[in-house]
Amino acid sequence: MSTDRKKPQPKTDAQRSAVHLWIREVAGVLNDAGLEKRVVIEALGKRGIDMPWSEESFKADIYKPIFQSVFAKESTEEASTTDHDKIYNGLIRWFGQEFGVELPPFPSQENAANPALFNTSRRRI
What are the pLDDT digits (tens) for 40-96? 889 888 888 888 888 998 999 999 999 999 999 999 889 888 899 999 999 999 999
pLDDT in tens, 31-56: 999 989 998 889 888 888 888 888 99
Q: What is the pLDDT of residue 8?
A: 73
pLDDT for 125 equals 32
Letter string b/e over residues 63-86, b meaning 16 or more CB atoms within 10 A of that residue's CB: bbeebeeeeeeeeeeeeeeeeeee
The pLDDT of residue 113: 72
**pLDDT at residue 34 in the model:** 92
Whether pLDDT at 111 is above 90: no
What contacts 9, CB < 8 A, 6 or more positions away? none
For residue 123, name the pLDDT band (cuts at 50, 70, 90): very low
Decide which of 118 and 71 is more confident: 71
User: Could you tell me where the DSSP H helices lie in the chain?
Assistant: 13-32, 37-47, 55-58, 64-71, 83-99
Residue 102 to residue 27: CA distance in whole angstroms = 40
pLDDT of residue 45: 85
Closest residue by Cα to residue 73 from 64, 60, 82, 81? 64
pLDDT of residue 94: 94
